[in-house]
Amino acid sequence: MTTLIEARRLTKDFGELRAADDVTFQVGAGEIVGLLGPNGAGKTTTLRMLAGLLQPTAGEAVISGHSMNKEQRQARRELGFLTGDMDLYRRLKPAELLTYFGKLYETPAIELDARVKNLMAAFGINDFADRLCEKLSTGQKQRVSIARTLVHDPKVVILDEPTTGLDIMASEFILRFIERIAREEKKAVVFSTHNLAEVERLCDRIVVIHRGKVAFNGIPAELLAQTGKTTLHDAFFHLVQ
């Protein structure tokens, strides 16, 4: 399995506060890794360093073999990033928004046109294609956001609490999307969540971050064995208390 995401001893300080401390893990092609941890543990900071939004104080993020520090453009070209609280450009229509981001990734025009059409069909966006994004429902916005994440066909997808604030239908849509891109398209997926049911359903591996450090990195069964608990819920609480 080709490694597509590498967090190499990622460390981030905000003044006196060390938000992430020597965080190391890998994600392979077609693998789904769940990033778990209580609020303030350092999940978002880690994901932002992987996405190149934050410069690590020490360590390095490598995306599809490209260092985010040294080959940022190549690394970002292979990366799709989505957070649950991200909105869309209000006065653009879905197709315009997808084309805009495709152009930012310098996707060739003919290829971009085909990709936008395919994504709009795949995510059922054609039904509301003529409406501005500000007029879309939360679920419709979420579909456009996901399509936006994939418009440049990245090998790596990073999702920061993608289901936060969504209803059951919209959450289910996201979970199926994560499953599909990993299993069918062999993309490497890392996502942070507080929902352990999502983790049990999707994740091949979990990384638990506690007080900025990696407290566990392995398959769910290993976490149960290591903590001596029978449920992921109990094992997680055992680890972070």
Q: Which is nearer to other proteins, 154 or 220 (CB)?
A: 154
Q: How far apart are CB 150 and other proteins at their closest, in Å?
A: 13
Q: Which is nearer to other proteins, 34 or 154 (CB)?
A: 154
Interaction site with other proteins (CB under 8 A): 48, 51-55, 73, 76-77, 79, 81, 83, 85-92, 96, 100-101, 103-106, 132, 148
Determine the Cα angle at 9 with ends 61 and 36, to 5°. Answer: 85
Q: How far apart are CB 48 and other proteins at their closest, in Å?
A: 6
Nearest to 211 by CA among 76, 32, 42: 42
Q: How far apart are CB 85 and other proteins at their closest, in Å?
A: 5
> What tokens appear for 219 in the block?
């398959």
Q: How far apart are CB 238 and other proteins at their closest, in Å?
A: 31
Q: Which is nearer to other proteins, 26 or 45 (CB)?
A: 45
Q: Which is nearer to other proteins, 119 or 206 (CB)?
A: 119
Q: Tell me if 196 sits within 8 A of 233, measured CB to CB.
A: yes
Q: How far apart are CB 179 and other proteins at their closest, in Å?
A: 22
Q: Which is nearer to other proteins, 25 or 101 (CB)?
A: 101
